[in-house]
Structure 1
Amino acid sequence: MRYSSITDRLADLGSEKWALHIRARQMQASGTDVIQLTIGEPDMPTDPLLIAEAQRAMNAGRYRYSNGRGEPSVVNALTARYTRRRADVTAENVLCFPGTQTALFAVMLGLVEAGDGVLVGDPLYATYDGVIQSTGAHRVTVPLKPEHGFHMQAADLEKAITPKCRVLLLNTPHNPTGAVLTADEIKAIGDICRKHDLWIVCDEVYEELIFNGPFASPFDDPELAERTVVVSSISKSHAAPGFRSGWAVGPVEFASRLLPVSETMLFGVQPFIADMTAYALTHDIGTSAAMRTSYKTRADLIVEGLSNVPGIVPLPPEAGMFTLIDVAGTGLTGEAFAWMLLEQEHVAVMPGSSFGVEAASFVRVSLTVPDTVIQEACARITKLAIRLLTPKERRA
């Protein structure tokens, strides 16, 4: 039988990148004591006030067809949120989606097509290749170097641009590195995008999980308003990944042209989830603050526990729920180290290669488990690292 070309373009971009995570789940299901540090699923529960609001909305009959742009409750809440960042935002700038992933998919579908190039930093979130290649466009890599704290450099961006490039897919705070771009870095990147007439699609899902310092975004610069689209959700900020509630905010013309695409995919999101999202955006819910504290503490525990381990270099993140560990000193790639760690010490981490070429010597560790589990994982990582030393190195 015949299939469309999208199935070929995405053939290797699905669950294959998560093979170690899937294997760890299988081991755990069979009774093995596996420490799961692979995915960014918050260990904090969704706040009871949000659950109660969703229940209230369902009891009130808020489960019928929705508005294609989004329910007024959440559109108004998002308008208020982004007006605080840039005064010209109205409801006409907003589109609602079931999660950031769907928002990214739709936005890319509306901005690029076959033959176009999408610039994105490497390392990159594992699903970015899929949302780019689904359109027929191709990824154009901008290297994010450890010596720059994985912060995108404007010079590296400009060097990577080709005549085919149409979009810069930016991610700050960044997954998997935890890097947070500064206002000066954003300005320099924005200047390059204006010079080369590039869209900027900024994934800001970790905006509320910055450990120290301010958040900067191209969306907040009026000079970049005509070319910037923000995507985000409540999945990370409010520990509500299963509710699938996200959005895109961009220029009015962009939102108007993308609306039929969104309506063709899914005509609106669930009204009771929209009401819960509106409540989350308009009330002081303490989830983000609590997660910021716990994730920063856990990142510090990893740095403390592994800084003196031979062959291991932990890199403290600036935000988010992950940290990277450089394992090049063990003589193994991140992929080989991660699989050995799972099979021998029953600790599941993500190979850096799942996130790009620049992360090949790293593993990504999730911070979404209790402190004591983080400490036990560090102990097991240490055991493996020591075993990988040569006899001469052990005696030194």
Structure 2
Amino acid sequence: MKYAAVTDQLAGLGSDKWILNTAAHKRAAQGHRILNLTIGEPDVPTPSSLIETACTSMQSGRTGYSNGRGEDSLLTALSARYSDRLGRPVGKDRFLCLPGTQTSLYLVFRALCEPGDEVILGDPMYATYEGLVRSSGATPVAVTLRPDSGFRLRAEDVEAAITPSTRVIFLNTPHNPTGAILRPEDLLALGEVARKHDLWIVSDEVYGDLTHDQRIYTSALANPAFEDRTIVTASISKSHAAPGFRSGWAVGPAEFCTRALPLSETMLFGSQPFIADMTAQAVASPPELARSMAARMANRARIIRDALDGIAGMRVTLPEAGMFALVDIRALSNDSVAFALKLLETTAVAVMPGASFGTALEGWLRVALNASDDDTADACARIRGFAEEYVK
């Protein structure tokens, strides 16, 4: 039987990226106690107040069809949130509500790109990005993010990669897996490149509320000079410890939302009203949960640095935001998948191999910061013992 070309284009870009997480769950199902530091899960359960809102909403009958743009209460809350943070009005007509950031990005690229187009993005990158771009028919063009530049995307590198086929500059700030935050001057330079070459800017900002040590995150929408070509996606999955509720949004020019709306409606025709009510409450609340989570995760990153940096040639890069720390194992191995699988088999510690995030992070590991301080320290002790034996 014949299949669409997209099935070939996405082969190997789905669950294959998460081989270590799959292996960890398999061993756990067999009765092993695994310290699983692979996935960026929040370290607390979804707040009971949000669950109660969703339940009350369901019980009151908010279980019918929604509209494709989003429930008015949520659109109002999003408009108020972005207007307050950007210091200028952001109308409700500039939002589309969707099930999580992943779906939002899928919609955005389907609306902006077609076969033959190119999308420039940083390498390393979140594991699903290549598939998101390719699903639109476009080709991802990777630009290396260098450790000596703080893993921040540089405008000069982007401009050097532009061709007549380039359609989008794809940003992720704060960045997964590196935790880097683009500075206002970075965003200004990238915006000028986008304007010079008439390109879209798409920015995944799901970790925006999870900055470490009072660092400041600036949205790609902050500069009004570029808002006519900028689309930002985010969700409550990380900031409000609600990944399973799949509630996110895209914010961009009103014309984009109008043109993309039929595509959104073709995909799913509206999210659940009771989840929209919960999300509206979350969006309207101060990000206290995210701040406390970020403080704990920043401390765990320091635990990892203090335990592993300099041991057997390993180097630890502290994140500026987000849920992960990076460990450079190039002094030990340039095959991060083999190293991580052997680490799991030997020590029952599961981490993500850098190769899952692009060629630039081969020889690195991504370590999640969502385990307790004690479990993080325990995992580090096991990694340290493994690395010292690995040298021998």
- The equivalent residue for 1:393 is none
- The equivalent residue for 1:386 is 388
Equivalent residue runs for 1:1-396 within 5 Å:
1-84=1-84, 85-211=86-212, 212-284=214-286, 286-390=288-392
Quote the offset at 1:86 in angstroms: 4.8
SS in 1 for 2:22: helix
Q: Deviations over 1:248-301 (max 9, x none)?
A: 000011000000000000111000000000001112353112101110110110
Residue type of the alignment partner of 1:319: A
Q: Deviations over 1:231-252 (max 9, x none)?
A: 0000000000000000000001
Quote the offset at 1:38 in angstroms: 0.5
Query: Which moves more between the two structures, 278-287 or 260-269?
Result: 278-287
Residue type of the alignment partner of 2:189: A
Q: Contact 1:47/1:285 (CA < 8 Å) preserved in 2? A: no
Q: Distance in 1 between matches of 2:14 and 2:287?
A: 34
Measured at CA, do residues 31 and 175 of structure 1 come closer, stay the same or move farther in structure 2, by a change above 3 Å?
same
SS in 2 for 1:219: coil
Q: Contact 1:68/1:263 (CA < 8 Å) preserved in 2? A: yes
Q: Distance in 1 between matches of 2:141 and 2:29?
A: 39
SS in 1 for 2:152: coil
Residue type of the alignment partner of 1:323: A
Q: Deviations over 1:322-358 (max 9, x none)?
A: 1110000113422222111111111100110000010
Q: Deviations over 1:101-155 (max 9, x none)?
A: 0000000000001010001100000000111001111001111001111011111
Q: Deviations over 1:10-29 (max 9, x none)?
A: 11111111112101110011
Q: Distance in 2 between matches of 1:181 and 1:83?
A: 21
SS in 1 for 2:316: strand
Q: Contact 1:210/1:320 (CA < 8 Å) preserved in 2? A: yes
SS in 2 for 1:388: helix
Residue type of the alignment partner of 2:274: F
Q: Distance in 2 between matches of 1:147 and 1:335?
A: 24
Q: Contact 1:63/1:270 (CA < 8 Å) preserved in 2? A: yes
Q: Distance in 2 between matches of 1:376 and 1:268?
A: 45
Q: Distance in 2 between matches of 1:226 and 1:281?
A: 24
Residue type of the alignment partner of 1:257: R
Q: Distance in 2 between matches of 1:86 and 1:5?
A: 45
Q: Distance in 2 between matches of 1:285 and 1:179?
A: 20
Flag structure 1 segments of 5+ consecutive residues without an equivalent: 391-396
Quote the offset at 1:224 in angstroms: 0.3
Residue type of the alignment partner of 1:366: A
Quote the offset at 1:83 in angstroms: 1.2
Aligned residues: percent identity? 50
Query: Which moves more between the two structures, 336-345 or 81-90?
Result: 81-90
TM-score by length of 1: 0.97
SS in 2 for 1:384: helix
Measured at CA, do residues 339 and 383 of structure 1 come closer, stay the same or move farther in structure 2, by a change above 3 Å?
same
- The equivalent residue for 1:394 is none
